[in-house]
Amino acid sequence: MNTQTNEINQHQVQRYEWVEGFKKSLPVAMGYLPAGIAFGVLAQVAGVPVWATIMLSIVLYAGAAQYACLPMLSAGLPIGNIATNIAAINLRHVFYGMPLLKYLPKNKIAKTYCLFALTDETFSVMTSLPNESRQALILPVSLFNQSWWVLASAIGVFIGSALSDLVPHLDFALVCLFAILAYEQFQSIKRYFPIGIAVIALIIASLFTSTWLLLMAITICMVLILARGFWTKPITAGDSNEQ
């Protein structure tokens, strides 16, 4: 009887986790649907096959990188060049994974998937949750978020280039999504340092280059974050010794 009761309770807990994960993914869906549809439409305009467009959303699943892929695929660039550019754009995901490592699922397959599916939006949702909820919700949130993106990409593919003619500059939808998520995360956490270093990095990078603006801005952000870490660590250690 106790075993059966425990199984029922465990099933109810898992059901609650997936329902809660679905709810947490809905704000992301509101941004993913227009951005994903825009990607699907632009992929059609660029001449990318339907199957390749959907596979990009399943296998690559990186909004900014997928947008960047389109002109490179259209130009017929070698796969090595495309992979290098994608790696540079997605370099920030390495830093996203570090704060969430201890909240990853224990199952190896689930853990691997969560690392693969860790996007800006999923990171934003997870870091706004209480610590005790993160491990239980990271898999449902990750899976639902990617499902929204794949669904939106498929819708965009089937709409085709007609929407691109009616609504120009569809790729700006992704920028709007990032801005909304950044605002929501700031409202939840109230930290000014990330905004400060992002603005400073963008200003410095824009003074030196326009072609490699994103890569240089990310690099400068990394340097500033590391510098802050090295700067605050001795101060914290000094305060502990005084106490």
pLDDT band at 140 (very low <50, low <70, confident <90, very high): very high
- State yes or no: pLDDT of 25 exceeds 90: yes
Enter the pTM of the model. 0.71
Pick the residue with more confidence: 157 or 75? 157
Q: What is the mean pLDDT of residues 80-106?
A: 82
Burial of 19 (0-12, 13-18, 19+ CB in 10 A): exposed
Least confident of 16-20, 124-128, 190-194: 190-194
pLDDT at residue 240, rounded to an integer: 47
Which residues contact residue 230 at a Cβ distance below 8 angstroms, ignoring those fewer than 6 apart?
none
pLDDT at residue 63, rounded to an integer: 79
How many Å apart are CA 10 and CA 4, to the nearest integer? 10
Q: What sign has the CA pseudo-torsion 27, 32, 34, 35? A: positive
Residue that has been written with the tokens 């709810």 in this structure: 23
How many Å apart are CA 240 and CA 118, to the nearest integer? 35
User: Do 65 and 86 contact (CB within 8 A), yes or no?
Assistant: yes
DSSP state of 191: -
Residue that has been written with the tokens 């994608």 in this structure: 86
Q: DSSP secondary structure string, 113-157?
A: HHHHT--HHHHHHHHTS-HHHHHHHHHHHHHHHHHHHHHHHHHHH
Parse the chain into domains and list their residue ranges.
Answer: 2-190, 191-243
How many Å apart are CA 63 and CA 90, to the nearest integer? 10
How many Å apart are CA 54 and CA 150, to the nearest integer? 7
Q: What is the mean pLDDT of residues 33-51?
A: 86
Pick the residue with more confidence: 241 or 44? 44
Instruction: Give the residue from 88, 84, 82 showing the smallest Cα distance to 70.
Output: 82
What percent of the chain is predicted at pLDDT more than 90? 23
Instruction: Give the residue from 242, 234, 201 showing the smallest Cα distance to 218.
Output: 201
Pick the residue with more confidence: 37 or 88? 37
142-187 tens-digit pLDDT = 999 999 999 999 998 888 766 655 555 555 666 666 676 666 666 6
